[in-house]
């Protein structure tokens, strides 16, 4: 049975941490995990908003300028 942290890591495509389950003990370790999850999430959002032909499906970030 994986630890809760390893379950979350697996859901986000990250390898499980080796060894027995243990609490996250350092701020650096926590920040590393959060950074990896954030980068993975950004990648998934980019894929979601991009069609297979590469065209961006997101609306423009700036409204068109009116004359």
Q: Identify the residue with better confidence: 54 or 26.
A: 26
Instruction: Give the pLDDT band of residue 40 (cuts 50, 70, 90).
Output: very high
pTM value is 0.42
Burial class (CB in 10 A: 0-12, 13-18, 19+), 23: exposed
The per-residue pLDDT for 48 is 85
Q: Identify the residue with better confidence: 14 or 60.
A: 14
Sign, CA torsion 36/40/55/67: negative
């Amino acid at each position: 049975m994986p630890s809760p942290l390893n379950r979350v890591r697996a859901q986000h495509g990250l390898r499980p941490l080796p060894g027995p389950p243990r609490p996250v003990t350092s701020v650096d370790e926590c920040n590393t995990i959060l950074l990896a999850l954030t980068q993975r999430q950004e990648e998934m959002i980019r894929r979601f908003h991009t069609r297979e032909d590469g065209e961006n499906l997101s609306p423009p970030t700036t409204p068109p300028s009116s004359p």
